[in-house]
Structure 1
Amino acid sequence: MKIAFYGSSLLSAYWNGAATYYRGLLRALAARGHAITFYEPDVYDRQTNRDIEPPDWCHVVVYAGTVPALKAAAAEAAAADVVVKASGVGFEDDLLLKCLLAAARPGALKLFWDVDAPATLAALRADPGSPLRRALPSLDAVLTYGGGEPVVEAYREVGAGLCVPIYNALDPETHRPVPPKPRFAADLAFLGNRLPDREARVEAFFLQPATHLYRHRFLLGGSGWQDKSLPPNVRYLGHVPTRDHNAFNTSPLAVLNISRQDMATNGFSPATRVFEAAGAGACLVTDAWEGIELFLAPGEEVLVARDGQDVEEIVSQLTPERAAEIGAAALQRVLRHHTYDQRAAEVDRVLAMLAKREAAE
C-alpha cells in the first residue's frame, strides 16, 4: 500500500520522543512492501538538530511551518491508499486533520495514530466539540502506541469505531549492545526531557535517591534541565543524540525509566526508552505501572520501583553480576517478542482487515 504519514519528525529526535517509534515501525512496514512518504513540518528547530538523514526506506517531505505549505503537503494525500494523521505534529494540528480528510480519495483508509493517548484523550474529554473528536466516527481506525484496554475503552467512549494499540518495540538494527564509554559511566542514569507532568516524578525517583546516595554517581540526560538545581553527584549531559543512546544505556550499572504521570496512571504504556535499554542489554529500573509484566518480567528482566526509596534500595544493593543477568534476560525477551517487525505484522493485519471491510461496503 501507498502510505502518506503526517507526523512530528522522522529525521530529528530533538524534543520529539516519537522519533524512535516512527523510525522502527515505518522501516519495518517498508520491509513488508509498503511505500511510505513521511511529511513533517519545519518547526521547533528540529531540522537544525537532525540525527539521521532521509532514509532509503521512506521518502521524507519537510514542509515549511506555514499554512500554505501545510495545505500543499496535505493535498498530496490524495495519491495515497492509507492516510495517517499522527498526534502532536506540532503545527496547526486541527487544520492538518481537516485538510487530510478533505484530500483523501474515496476508498482510502484514514487513520489517526496517537503517540500520546493520555494527553489526547484528556483534551478530547475537555472539549466535546474539538475537530478530532468530531472526526473520529469518520476515521477507519485509531492506532495508539500504548494504553491497553483502558485507552481502547476511552477512545470508544469519545466516538472511535476501532482502536488498536501498537506498542513501542525494539529496532535491533538501531538499538543493540555496544562497548561502554567512560563519559556515560554511572551507577544510575536517566534520559528524558524536562516536562511539567514528569518533573515531580523525576525528583521523587531520581533526584531524591541521588541526594541520599551521595557516594553513588548519577547521570542525567535530556533537554531542559540546565537551570534545575541538582545534587553534586548528578552529572548533567543535556540533549543526548540517538546515535549515543546505546552507549548511554550500556555504560552505567543501571538505567532508569520514569513515566509521565498520565502514562503511569493509564498503564500499559512502555516508553521507547524501555525497549532501547532492553535492546542494549542494559539493567533497567522502571517506576511501577500496570501492565509491565506484558513486556518484561519484574525481578528477572526488569527491576520495578514503587517510589524513590525502592530506587535507593535497588541501587545500593545492585551488583555488576546481577545487573548483567537482568540486562541479558531483557535483551532475549525483547528480541523474541517485542521487535518492530512483529509490530508491523500487527499493523498489516489491521490494514488488511480495514481494506477488506472497505471493499465490502
Structure 2
Amino acid sequence: MDIVFIGLSITSSWGNGHATTYRGLLRELDRQGHRVAFLERDVPWYAPHRDLPDPAYAATELYGSLDELRRRFSGMVRDADAVVVGSYVPDGAAVGDWVLDTARGVTAFYDIDTPVTLAKLATGEVEYLSAAQIGAYDLYLSFTGGPTLHHLEDRHGARCARAFYCAFDPDAYYPEPGDSGWDLGYLGTYSVDRQPRVDSMLVQPARRWEEGRFVVAGPMYPPSLSWPANVTRTDHIPPAEHRDFYNAQRFTLNVTRDDMRRAGWSPSVRLFEAAACATPIISDAWEGLDAFFEPGREIIVAEDSAQVLEVLRGMGEGERVAMGRRARERVMAAHTAAHRARELPLLFAEAAGAAPATLSASA
C-alpha cells in the first residue's frame, strides 16, 4: 500500500510521545513492504531538537504552512491508498478538511490523545479535529479502547472506531544486565494534572526514605518545583537512551493524565517500553489496566506513598526480577510495533468495504 501520514512529529521526540509511536509503526510498515510517507509541520519548538531528521524507512517532508502542504502534496494525498491525519497536528481541522476533500483512498484519523480530544470537543477548544470530521473519516484509530469506542460511534457518529494502541520497538527496548542506579524513576513531560501523583508516588517516598535513590526525567518542569536531595532531575532523554534509563531502575513509575484515567483503557507507550526492558512498573489505577497487565503478577498498582515505599523496601529481588520478566513476555506477545503494522492494513480494508465488526469491551 501507499500510505501517507500527516502527524505532529516524527523528526523530534522532544516534549511529545508521538514521535516514537510513529517511528516504530512506519518502520515496520516499511519492513512489511508498504510505501510510507510522513508530512510534518516545521515548527520552531521542534527545530532545535530533531533527533531523527531523516528516517530511512519513510519519505519525510517538512512543510511551513497549510498553503504549502496543499501546494506540494495534493498529488501524493490524492493518489495514496490510505491517508492518516494524527492528533495535535497544527491547523489539524483545516488539514483534515483538505484531506477529506482530496484523498481518493481510505481516510483515517489517528488519535493518540483520545480522552483529551473528547474533553476538548466538549468545550469547543480542540484545534486539530472538528466534531463533523469524526463521522467523515472512514476510520477512527483510537489510542483508547473500551467503552470510548462505542462513545465515538454512538454519540459522535464515527463510522468505524477501533482501538489502535501504542507499541514499542523490541530492537530498542530489552533487558541489559548492570547495577541499578535508582530505586524508582519516572519519565514524562511535565503536566499539571499528573504532577500531584508524581508528588505522592515519587517525591513523598523520596522525602520519607532518604537512603533511596530516585530520578525524574522529562522537559517543561517549572523551575519553582522543589525536589528532595535524593531525587535526580534531568531534562529530555532522547529515545536512543530510554533503554539505558529503564535498565538503570529497580522500579519505574507510570502516572496517567486525568482525562485518560477517567476514560480507562489508555496504556501509555512508556508502559510497554519499560515492560520490554523487564523493569517492574508501579502504576496508578485505571479501568482496563488489567487487560494489558495482571496486577500483582505483571504490574504493581499503588495509589499513595506508603504503598510505593512498601514495594520499594519490601519486595524481594527474586520476585522483582520475575515480575519484570513476566511483563516483558506479555508485551512481546501483543504490543510490538510489528503487531500494529500488521493490524493497520486490515483496519484500512475493513473501513473501505466490510461492515464494522461488533465491538467488544476490550477491542
Name the TM-score, length of structure 2 as normaliser. Answer: 0.91
CA deviation string 1:172-221 (max 9, x = no partner):
11212234477xx1110001010122122212222122222222111010
Q: For residues 177 and 250 of structure 1, what CA distance do their matches in structure 2 show?
A: 6
**Which residue of 2 is the match for residue 205 of structure 1?**
201
**Which residue of 2 is the match for residue 327 of structure 1?**
324
SS of alignment partner, residue 161 of structure 1: coil
SS of alignment partner, residue 4 of structure 2: strand
Contact kept in structure 2, 1:2 and 1:80, CA below 8 Å? yes
Q: 2:268 aligns with which of 262, 268, 271?
A: 271
Q: For residues 128 and 262 of structure 1, what CA distance do their matches in structure 2 show?
A: 15
Q: 2:111 aligns with which of 114, 118, 122?
A: 114
The one-letter code of the counterpart of 1:206 is L
Task: Write the mapping of 1:277-356 to structure 2, written as runs, cut at 5 A.
Answer: 277-356=274-353
**Which residue of 2 is the match for residue 84 of structure 1?**
84
CA deviation string 1:233-252 (max 9, x = no partner):
11101111111100110111
**Which residue of 2 is the match for residue 246 of structure 1?**
243
Pairwise CA distance, 1:9: 0.9
Q: For residues 220 and 37 of structure 1, what CA distance do their matches in structure 2 show?
A: 35
**Which residue of 1 is the match for residue 132 of structure 2?**
134
SS of alignment partner, residue 63 of structure 2: strand
**Which residue of 2 is the match for residue 232 of structure 1?**
229
Moved more, 233-242 or 337-346: 337-346
Contact kept in structure 2, 1:179 and 1:251, CA below 8 Å? no
Q: 1:162 aligns with which of 160, 163, 166?
A: 160
**Which residue of 2 is the match for residue 177 of structure 1?**
175
Task: Write the mapping of 1:16-31 to structure 2, written as runs, cut at 5 A.
Answer: 16-31=16-31
Q: For residues 176 and 351 of structure 1, what CA distance do their matches in structure 2 show?
A: 31
Q: For residues 168 and 209 of structure 2, what CA distance do their matches in structure 1 show?
A: 32
Contact kept in structure 1, 2:275 and 2:331, CA below 8 Å? yes
Q: For residues 101 and 250 of structure 1, what CA distance do their matches in structure 2 show?
A: 44
Contact kept in structure 2, 1:87 and 1:116, CA below 8 Å? yes
1:62 counterpart = 2:29:
no
Moved more, 219-228 or 122-131: 122-131
CA deviation string 1:47-86 (max 9, x = no partner):
321222422221111112x343233355231121111111
Q: For residues 128 and 42 of structure 1, what CA distance do their matches in structure 2 show?
A: 23
The one-letter code of the counterpart of 2:271 is V
Q: For residues 52 and 355 of structure 1, what CA distance do their matches in structure 2 show?
A: 33
Contact kept in structure 2, 1:268 and 1:291, CA below 8 Å? yes
Pairwise CA distance, 1:98: 1.8
Contact kept in structure 2, 1:5 and 1:86, CA below 8 Å? yes
Name the TM-score, length of structure 1 as normaliser. Answer: 0.91
SS of alignment partner, residue 6 of structure 1: strand
Pairwise CA distance, 1:357: 4.4
Q: 2:147 aligns with which of 140, 145, 150?
A: 150
RMSD: 2.1
SS of alignment partner, residue 331 of structure 2: helix
**Which residue of 2 is the match for residue 218 of structure 1?**
214
Tell me, which stretches of 5 or more residues in structure 1 are unaligned?
none
Contact kept in structure 2, 1:118 and 1:266, CA below 8 Å? yes
* Gap change, CA 1:335 and 1:128, over 3 Å in 2: closer
Pairwise CA distance, 1:113: 0.6
Moved more, 126-135 or 303-312: 126-135
Instruction: State the number of aligned residues.
Output: 351
Amino-acid identity (%): 33
SS of alignment partner, residue 353 of structure 2: helix
Contact kept in structure 1, 2:107 and 2:138, CA below 8 Å? yes
CA deviation string 1:98-141 (max 9, x = no partner):
22222213xx1111110000111112222399862112222101
CA deviation string 1:224-282 (max 9, x = no partner):
22512111211101111111100110111111111111111211111011011011111
Q: For residues 179 and 257 of structure 1, what CA distance do their matches in structure 2 show?
A: 22
Contact kept in structure 1, 2:146 and 2:264, CA below 8 Å? no
